[in-house]
Structure 1
Amino acid sequence: MDTQKWINEGYNFLIEYGPKVIGAILIWIIGSWIIKMLLKGVKKAMNKGNYDESLKKFLLNLIGWALKILLIIVVLGTVGVETTSFAAIIAAAGLAIGLALQGSLGNFAGGVLIMIFKPIKIGDLIEAQGEIGVVKEIEIFTTKLTGLSNREIIIPNGALSNGNIINFSTEGTRRVDLVFGVGYDSDIKKTKEVFSKVLAANPKILKDPAPTIAVSELADSSINFVVRPWCTTDDYWDVYFGVTEQIKEALDAAGIEIPYPHQVEIHKEN
C-alpha cells in the first residue's frame, strides 16, 4: 500500500513538474546558445570599433554575467520557483555595492566613456585638471600622463571625462605665441624685418599657415610685438626656445633695444 502511494506521488510529481523541468532545460540550452551568439556579435562590433583590449574583456564579462543571471532567473521561474524575492535581493545588493563604490563607479564610467569616444589616445599631449603631459596609459579607473619634467601624473577618469580637455596633438600643428618688447625709439618696420628674417631662417617653422608679426600693445616702457609662428606638435618646444634665443641675438645685432625696468632714486636734502 505504501509502495503504491509513493508510486502515485512520484507519477503525479512527474506529471506536474516533468514538463517544467524539460522546459527549463530547453530554455537553458537555447538561452546559453543565444548568449554565446550575442557575445560573439558584441565582440565583433568592438573589434571593428578598435576598442581598448582591457575594456573589451571587461565589457564582455560584464554583459555575459548579466545575461546569465537573467537566464537563471527565467529558468527558475519556469520550474515554479518564486523569483520576485530573488530579483529584489539582487537589486538591493546592486544598490548597496553602487553606494559603497560611488566614486570608483564614477571613475569606471569615465574610463568607459574615454575608451569609447576616444577624446584622447596614448601619445597625445593634453592639458587637463590643471596638468600638462603626454598620455602614457588609459586604464579603467585612471589615466596616466608623463609630465613635461618626466613626472608621472595620475588623473581619475571621472574627473577627466567631466572636465575640459585640451588636446594639442589632434590637429598635428601648433601655434607658438611669443611676445617681445622693444624701446619706443625703435623703428617698427625694421623690427618687423628682424623678426621675419629669424622666422624665415628657422627650418622647423611652417610656411603655411604664415607666421603673424604685429604690434600688440603700447606699454609703459616698450612697444610690444606678438610673434606667432606655426610648427608641428613635436617641434613646439624647440621652436619656442629656439626662436626666443634667436630673436634676442638678432635684436642685439640690429642695435634694437629691449627695455628693462629702471629704478630712480631721489635724495632729498634737509
Structure 2
Amino acid sequence: MRTIASKMKAPFLSSFLNLTGGFFLKMVKPFREGDFIEVDGEIGSATLINWTSSELKTIDGESIKVENSRFLLGKLHNLSDKNIIRLELSLNVCYTENMADVKQTIYNFLKGHAGILKFPRPKIVVAKLHENYVELKVAPWCLLDHFLELDYKLETALNQNLMRKGFKMPSEEKVYSEIRETA
C-alpha cells in the first residue's frame, strides 16, 4: 500500500506546485508577456503565462514549455527590467587548437572586460564547421548603454587576445575565399 500511495503523491505534488506557481505568477506578476526572462538557465521572451505552465521563445526562436513550479523553486530574473542586451560575436579558430583552452581563454577575457556582465553567463557555441577552421559564436551580455561601443570593439579585441595567447586563427584571405567558393 505504501508504494501506491507514494506513486500517487508525486503527480499530485507536481500538479499542486505548478498550480501554486501559476497563482504566484498571476498575483505577484514578476514579469509580463513579452518580457525577456531567465529561469534556471532557460533564457527567452515570455509568450504565454498559464495556470500550470508558461512558454518562452528562446533567442534561437524555439518555443519551450516551462512548468510554473520552476518559477517558485528556481531562480527567476526579469532581464527586461535590467536594461541588458546580448552581443553576438563571431570568431574563427583553426582545428589544430585545443577547443577547451580556447573556450577558457575567451571566458577569462570576457570576465576581465569591464563592460561585460557576469550574469547571465556568456555562451560559446560552434556555429559552423569549415574545411580548416571552426566558426564560433560568442554571446556575452552587456548594459544597453554600452552596446554600441562593445559591439564595435569587442570582437576585434577578442581576436587579438587569442592571437596574442598563441592560438591559430585562419587568415581572412582563407575565410573570404571559402565564402566565395560556396556562393
Structure with higher helix content: 1
Greater RCO (Cα-Cα under 8 Å, separation 6 or more): 2
In terms of Rg, which structure is larger? 1
Q: TM-score, normalised by structure 1?
A: 0.34
Q: TM-score, normalised by structure 2?
A: 0.48
Structure with higher strand content: 2
